[in-house]
Chain A
Amino acid sequence: MDILPAYPAWLIEHGAALAVVLPLLTGAVCAVLRSERAAWIVTLIVTGACAVVSFGVLLTIFAGEVQIYEMGGWEPPYGIAYVIDGLNAPVLFLISAIAFIGTLYGIPSVTAEVEPGKRAPFYGAFLLCVAGLLGMVVTGDAFNVFVFLEVSSISTYVLVAMGASRDRRALAAACRYLILGSIGATLFVVGVGCLYMETGTLNMLDMSRILSEIGGGSRVALVGFGFIVIGLGLKLAMFPLHLWLPGAYAHAPSFVTVFLASTATKAALYLLLRFMFVVFDPSFEYDTAIITYVITTVAVAGMLLASLQAVYQTDARRTLAYSSIAQVGYMLLGIGMATAAGLSAGYLHLINHALIKGALFLALGAFWYRYGIMRVLDFRGLGQIMPWTMGAFTLGGLSLIGVPFTAGFVSKYNLAMAAAANGWWWAVGVIMAASVLAIIYMGRMLLVAYFQPPPEVDGEAVAKNEAPLLMLVPMWVLAGLSILIGINADWIVHAADGAAMVLTAGGGVRP
């Protein structure tokens, strides 16, 4: 199937810039629109366009090209360059596609959860957030990363706070997220400052070149590295720095939770990979030390402790939020191995987890939309009264556990094989243990939904009330994809191997 020739040349050439600029500009337009319906249509068109464009970009990357786009024709190091390679092209497409799928879901969900007057600005903030995340991913300029990080973060605080009309606790959660997110962004920009001091450039390719020329640089680079790791670690909810995440996921509007869970942490994780393996290189001993000791430790701690925490949650969204922290642990474990196979498996899990968690949170949103369900105990009889939604939830849940023929199995299996190949047999054990915990916390919900009768109101069982089509389609697309990957994972493993190839190009990673 060759779609690439169908794209006009200019679209591919300017694709990366378009994907960022389009939502950035229309976001401002949306914010002042009066009609929420118009804002929704604009958002749908823009995110759809972003998805189409980034798909074209992804195809050119698969065809073996690396795109360097100079913003406004200014050559780096004076201007800002967008660099697209095998590492960020899949994430770029992932984010824009999830944004599009999520927007479809927006019409029922946002109408139900956001105050009438705030709906058009809500879409505006959402578009800004999309623009910020896409910008973080495509830009090749370290300071520009910080700018987009802030664009996406600030709009995210707004989006989380919008959940207040459904749940007042969203305000506190947003405030907390704002404080911690700002700390993270500050640490990051301090780190970038240190790097600028050391190398005299903000362009990441130049930084990488200069750093390897001076063998990792002085203590300034070293300190900068530490700040960047912790700053990004906070953004991607690395285990002890995850405190903002459960509240934000649990109280934000469903639509926002879906988008955040599938993309925000993933974009930050992408940046961590970029800085650890491309800008810096594991051939610097301090980089390897952090990867081996710090990243691996927090990965394992996160996988086990966050999973345990998920087991004991009563709120379904919080359960999935803690599960997300545990899943970030899986990805970090892949990074911690610092082998090509481990990186590929971690990257694969990044993509698979975005699909799985997207489907799960979409289903949770549908449960709330129809029956106001938030607690696990209230899942009673959902297998009967919302069979299709529950079906998608079940597929997602099985995939999260890692049942064979699901996406989760593919990435966990690859991760376990990478660990075994690396001689880390204990890590295989940890993966198994965390998967068993996943069986417990997902199984708990599935058991309640399928094996308990629906609640009765006035002596009659609650009537069947399936979610609207606009909700069902997105969640089944994601759930179906996760099964599809489980059956034939070759194409996505190919993409992950491509990403790992970019990461290993520096030479510091064992093949």
Chain B
Amino acid sequence: MADFLIQVNPGFIIILAGIICAFVPIHGVRKSLVIIAPIIAGWMIYNALREPLAASHVMQVGPIELITMNFDRLALLWGLVFCLAGILNGLYAFHEKCGLTDSSALIYMGSAVAGVFVGDLIMLFIFWELAAISSVFLIWKGGRKAYASGLRYLAIHVFSGVLLLAGAAMYGQANGGDYTFGLIGLDSPGGVLLLVAMGIKCGFPFLHNWMQDAYPKASVTGTVILSAFTTKLAVYALARGFAGESVLIYIGAAMTVFPVFFAVIENDLRRVLAYSLNNQLGFMVCGIGVGTTMAMNGVAGQVAVHVIFKSLLFMSMGAVLYRVGTAKASELGGLFRSMPFTTVFCLVGAASIAAFPLFAAFVTKAMIISSVLYEHHYAVVLVLLFASAGVMEHSGIKVPYFAFFSHDSGKRVEEAPWNMLVAMGLAAAMCIFLAFPVYGYHFLYSLMPSEVTYEPYTGNHIVTQFQLLFAAMFAFALLKRLKIYPDERRAEIIDFDWIYRRLGYQLVRWTDAMWTRLAFHSGRVRDDVVKHVNARLYHVFSPAGTFSASAPSGLAAVLTGSMLVLVLIVEYLTRL
């Protein structure tokens, strides 16, 4: 039994549960599937960990070998944390009676898990696209305003999938038909395409806008689910394919910095979190670019804790949105009175993302920054430190401050539902556990791709980190005091997506108008030509035409005779 199961990709189980969910009308059954499926998948991963060599399966389809299951240490942490996120999401969305969300969330989750455990680019493409298609329903559940965003999201992700497939095809051709997903590198054109495909999903600068566009518009539960999987799948793909590509160091550094400014002025707190997500991804990409053992361990650990604390933050903002009906900073404030538990959980999440000692990111982010330092990229280290302060500022302070403290908005609402509190509580506990000096971070270390020796709790490190964090807090307080800090205002922020949402749109409309004119005129010309040609053909070929005129039999006989002469002439010529 177990021998057989060990060869099955754990993601398939979750996808299967999702398909079953689509046909089950009973809410309770669906909800238990949503929670049980990730638990089973997690158990399967644990099984595979015990016998890593047996956990592989190859399927022969035509001339191509598809590796449906390929277990290794790199995939381990991703798989486990995806399953954990799946359980948290199941709990968090327990109250929601929506078959579509349950089923698409499961299929989406399953695709991400499956994508992590497949071993070749073709299978990766399949789950890459499946994840995109199944997740768009979660965005569309966000209401009518989310429809256009969902379409843009779908278009961009399908495009990313197409690039992935094209890149895979070129890469496979260049490698003599070997589609195995290993280290790819940028020395072939296929590799560049693959990098761009992954970059889109990972939110590289100028390719990132779908994230801030779609995530805040999805439903309360949808955003939480979305934030965990898509981008982390892309980070996994980068880690596997492009570890040590130095260009990623600079891309990652840029990714950490530019969202800070947008996050500071953004009003929608869920959108702030989307920018902060982008910034966190920057750290991971940077670590992948460094590519040393320590850096890769740091990236894997960062992904794990990031999924948890980012979910926690999105869950707390989701709870606010669920109870208050908005997540705009300008309309919130003072909620700590009515939602004390949510406040505490949000603060834990904020402390985690800001990397306070004893909170999740403290260990892993330090590993990444240290590994960059060891490789002597000093400028990049400074950028990363600045970005860390920025994280503290916008996610660590701004989000909880404007939602729960600030000036009292006078809103008095109920505490979040019990299931949301349980999910948030679990996530908060994990956040603290995974950075706890006793047994806590050692457990995380034991799951990392390779042996870790890094010791996070040194006096030096703790002091440095506190200096950084308090400097950021001080800056916030000072700016607030001097009233320089940008007020929470309802405003649209123009990001790079203006290029395609406004300029591009107008350009398309202009082209469309011109095209319509051109089509009208060319259509007239074409109609004339067609009519003319048709008339000519009709005159020749129709029953009334010259060709069909009922020739007398004599004429037909002459025709036969001339054909005979023709044949004889041809024959005669061959004998000359």
When distances are taken between beta carbons in the complex, the residues of chain A under 8 Å from B574 are 285-286, 288-289
- Is A187 a contact of B543 with CB atoms below 8 Å? no
- Given the interface pairs A179-B553, A184-B560, A230-B560, the reply to whether A314 lies near B543 with Cβ below 8 Å is yes
Determine whether B575 belongs to the interface, using a CB cutoff of 8 Å to chain A: yes
Q: Are A289 and B570 in contact (CB under 8 A)?
A: yes
Q: Does A29 contact B (CB under 8 A)?
A: no
Set of chain A residues within 8 Å of B479, measured between Cβ atoms:
none
Decide if B564 touches A309 in the complex (CB within 8 Å). Answer: no
Chain B residues 163 to 214 lying within 8 A of chain A, measured CB to CB, are: none
When C-beta atoms are compared, the residue in chain B nearest to A225 turns out to be B571
* Across-interface contacts of A58 in B (CB, < 8 A): none
Which residue of B has the minimal Cβ distance to A241? B560
Contacts of A233 in B (CB 8 A): 563
Nearest-neighbour CB distance to chain A for B541, whole angstroms, equals 5
Q: How far is the CB of A192 from chain B (nearest CB, A)?
A: 15
Chain A positions within 8 Å of B571 at CB level: 222-223, 225-226, 286, 289-290
A79 within 8 A of B: no
In the bound complex, do residue B541 and residue A309 qualify as a contact, i.e. CB atoms below 8 Å apart? yes
What is the minimal beta-carbon distance from B561 to any residue of chain A, in angstroms?
9
Question: Residue A275 at the B interface, CB < 8 A?
Answer: no
Binds A, one of B127-135, B523-531, B544-552: B544-552
CB within 8 Å of B: which of A287-343?
288-290, 293-294, 305, 308-309, 311-315, 318
Partner of B541, one of A180, A288, A311: A311
Contacts of B543 in A (CB 8 A): 312-315, 318
Closest to A310 in B: B541
Complex Cα–Cα for A226 and B566 (A): 9
Knowing A179-B557, A286-B574 are in contact, say whether A226-B545 is a contact too (CB < 8 A): no
- Chain A residue nearest in CB terms to B567: A226
Q: A379 near B: Cβ within 8 Å? A: no
Q: How far is the CA of A300 from the CA of B540 in the complex (A)?
A: 18
Closest to A306 in B: B541
**CB neighbours of A285 from chain B (8 A):** 574-575
| Residues in B253-283 with C-beta less than 8 Å from chain A | none
User: Does B538 reach chain A (CB closer than 8 Å)?
Assistant: yes
B556 contacts partner chain A, Cβ-Cβ < 8 Å: yes
Pick the residue among B547, B551, B564, B575 that contacts A286 (CB under 8 A): B575
> Which of A183, A219, A293, A312 has the largest count of B CB atoms less than 10 A from its CB?
A312
Secondary structure call for the B interface: helix
- Is the Cβ of B559 less than 8 Å from the Cβ of A290? no
Identify which of B541, B553, B564, B567 contacts A176 (C-beta below 8 A): B553
Q: Within residues 456 to 485 of chain B, which ones have a CB less than 8 A from any CB in chain A?
A: none
Contacts of A305 in B (CB 8 A): 541, 547
- For the complex, is A382 an interface residue (Cβ under 8 Å from B)? no
**A180 and B566 contact, CB distance less than 8 A:** no
Total B residues in contact with A, Cβ cutoff 8 Å = 27
- The answer to whether B567 and A230 touch across the interface, beta carbons within 8 angstroms, is yes
Contact B537 A229, beta carbon cutoff 8 Å:
no
Flag if B557 contacts A312 (CB, 8 Å). Answer: no
The answer to whether B573 has its CB under 8 Å from any CB of chain A is yes
**Is there a chain A Cβ closer than 8 Å to B514's Cβ?**
no
Contact B541 A240 (CB under 8 A): no
Given the complex of chains A and B, what is the CA–CA distance between A286 and B575 in angstroms? 7
Whether the Cβ atoms of B559 and A230 lie closer than 8 Å is no
Contacts of A230 in B (CB 8 A): 560, 563-564, 567
Nearest chain A CB to B536's CB is how many angstroms away? 11
In contact, A180 and B573 (Cβ under 8 angstroms)? no
- At the interface, yes or no: A126 with Cβ under 8 Å from chain B? no
| Complex interface residues of chain B between 55 and 108 (CB less than 8 A to chain A) | none
* Interface 1/0 per residue, A209-228 and B, CB below 8 Å: 00000000001001101110
Q: A294-B567, A312-B545 are in contact. Are A244 and B556 (CB under 8 A)?
A: yes
Q: Does B382 contact A (CB under 8 A)?
A: no
> Bound complex: CA of A175 vs CA of B550, how far in Å?
13
Residues of B within 8 A of A225 (CB): 571
Q: Which of A152-208 contact B (CB under 8 A)?
A: 175-176, 179-180, 183-184, 187
Chain B residues near A226 (CB-CB < 8 A): 564, 567-568, 571
Please measure, in the bound complex, the distance between the C-alpha atom of A53 and the C-alpha atom of B529, giving whole angstroms: 58
Contact B568 A240 (CB under 8 A): no
Q: Is the CB of A308 within 8 A of B537?
A: yes
Q: How far is the CA of A227 from the CA of B568 in the complex (A)?
A: 8
Once A226-B564, A241-B563, A314-B543 are accepted as A-B contacts, the answer to whether A309 and B548 lie under 8 Å apart by CB is yes
Given A176-B553, A241-B559, verify A227-B564 contact (CB < 8 Å).
Answer: yes
Of the A-B pairs whose beta carbons lie under 8 Å apart in the complex, a sample of 21, sorted by A's number, is A175-B553, A176-B556, A180-B557, A183-B557, A187-B560, A223-B571, A225-B571, A226-B571, A229-B567, A230-B564, A241-B556, A243-B559, A286-B574, A290-B570, A294-B567, A308-B537, A308-B540, A311-B537, A312-B538, A312-B543, A313-B542
Chain B interface (Cβ < 8 Å from any Cβ of A): 537-538, 540-543, 545, 547-548, 550-551, 553, 556-557, 559-560, 563-564, 566-568, 570-575
Given A179-B556, A312-B541, 11 other A-B contacts at CB below 8 A?
A179-B557, A180-B560, A183-B560, A184-B560, A219-B575, A222-B568, A286-B570, A289-B571, A293-B570, A305-B547, A318-B543
Closest 3 pairs (CB-CB, A-B):
A312-B542, A289-B574, A286-B571
Interface residues of A (CB under 8 A from B): 175-176, 179-180, 183-184, 187, 219, 222-223, 225-227, 229-230, 233-234, 240-241, 243-244, 247, 285-286, 288-290, 293-294, 305, 308-309, 311-315, 318
